[in-house]
Every structure is written in structure tokens, then in C-alpha cells.
């Protein structure tokens, strides 16, 4: 395993762990000394990872998010209602996706996490810069929605269902 491969694995391991990961445990797992792990951590920090050292091991200082894919359908007039329904519950509409019978899978990033961003997106649509991707698939489309917890995603799911926008749900 190369050093860069090991560092990628270290990041993955720290991200996936619910508890601090000890340098000694990583050293044993990767067949290197604890000092090599300390150097790897320094290189990872230098490349932008916010890794915290504790007396029990290393943690990645990054907000934990969960995501879910929602298949929805609505009219152009209901677009604002759908997006606000999601962001008002504290979630982010990461993207929009459609599966077209001729063109296949198409996806566009959105990053809409506030009413201000909803308004900016809708203004871009209204000004003629573009039209909603859902329009090429009889209004059917998917959103990858991220949030701070499964509970928030459950609330989004319930709200979309109550508004009759929700068609199906799957884990991202």
C-alpha cells in the first residue's frame, strides 16, 4: 500500500468511526509505526482535513450528514412549494436527477438549502436561463436530499407525502 493509499484509508476509517481511532490501532492495521501515522495525519491536515487529536485517538471535525433520494412529481407552479417544504425543515436539496427514455440518466447539482437559494433558483428559471429538468420526464424527477439526521429526513419524507409530491424513497 502506498502512502497516499494509506492516507485515503485513514480518512475513510476516521470518517466511518463513531469513536476516536487510535494511532496505535491504525499503525497495526496498516503495518507501519505509530510515528508514520502521526506524519500521515500531519499531511492530511496540511491538505485540508480538519483532524482533531484526542487522548483516545483521532476524529474528523466535519458535520455528519445523512442523505436520502426522493422521487417526486409536481407541476411548475408547485416547484417553490416543494423546495421550500424541504429547506424549511433544515435539509438541503443537493441535486435534481431524471431518467429519460432516450437520453438516459441526467443530473444537475443544486445545493439549495435556504429560501434565499430557492428564490435565486426560481429567478433563474423565470428569467429564461433554463427550464426545470423535470419537464422532460412528465414532471417525474429525483432529489438527493441531505440533512443532519435521519429524523430530519423522515420529516421531509412526511411533508412531501402530505403534499402528494412523493412517489418513492430510497437510501442514497
Residue identified by cell 419537464 is 135
DSSP string of 104-160?
EEEEEEEEE-SHHHHHHHHHHHHTTS---GGGGGTTEEEEEEEES-HHHHHHHHHHH
- Backbone φ and ψ for 37, nearest 5 degrees, come out as -65, -45
Q: State the pTM of this model.
A: 0.65
Rounded-to-integer distance, Cα 119 and Cα 149, Å: 25
Structural domains in the chain plus CATH codes: 3-60 (1.10.10.10), 66-171 (3.30.1340.20)
pLDDT of the residue at 168: 85
**pLDDT at 172 (0 to 100):** 60
Cell of 117: 437559494
Give per-residue pLDDT as tens, 17-67.
889 999 999 999 999 999 999 999 999 999 888 999 999 999 988 776 889
Q: Does the pLDDT of residue 97 top 90, yes or no?
A: yes
Amino acid at each position: 500500500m502506498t502512502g497516499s493509499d494509506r492516507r485515503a484509508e485513514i480518512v475513510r476509517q476516521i470518517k466511518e468511526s463513531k469513536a476516536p481511532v487510535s494511532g496505535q490501532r491504525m499503525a497495526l492495521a496498516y503495518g507501519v509505526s505509530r510515528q508514520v501515522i502521526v506524519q500521515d495525519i500531519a499531511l492530511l491536515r496540511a491538505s485540508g482535513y480538519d483532524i482533531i487529536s484526542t487522548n483516545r485517538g483521532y476524529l474528523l471535525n466535519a458535520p455528519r450528514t445523512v442523505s436520502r433520494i426522493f422521487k417526486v412529481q409536481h407541476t411548475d407552479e408547485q416547484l417553490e412549494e416543494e423546495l421550500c417544504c424541504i429547506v424549511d425543515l433544515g435539509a438541503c436539496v443537493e441535486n435534481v436527477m431524471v431518467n429519460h427514455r432516450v437520453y438516459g440518466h441526467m443530473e444537475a447539482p443544486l445545493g439549495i438549502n435556504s429560501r434565499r437559494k430557492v428564490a435565486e433558483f426560481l429567478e433563474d428559471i423565470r428569467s429564461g436561463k433554463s427550464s426545470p429538468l423535470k419537464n422532460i420526464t412528465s414532471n417525474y424527477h429525483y432529489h438527493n436530499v441531505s440533512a443532519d439526521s435521519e429524523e430530519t429526513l423522515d420529516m421531509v419524507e412526511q411533508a412531501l407525502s402530505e403534499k402528494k409530491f412523493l412517489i418513492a424513497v430510497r437510501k442514497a
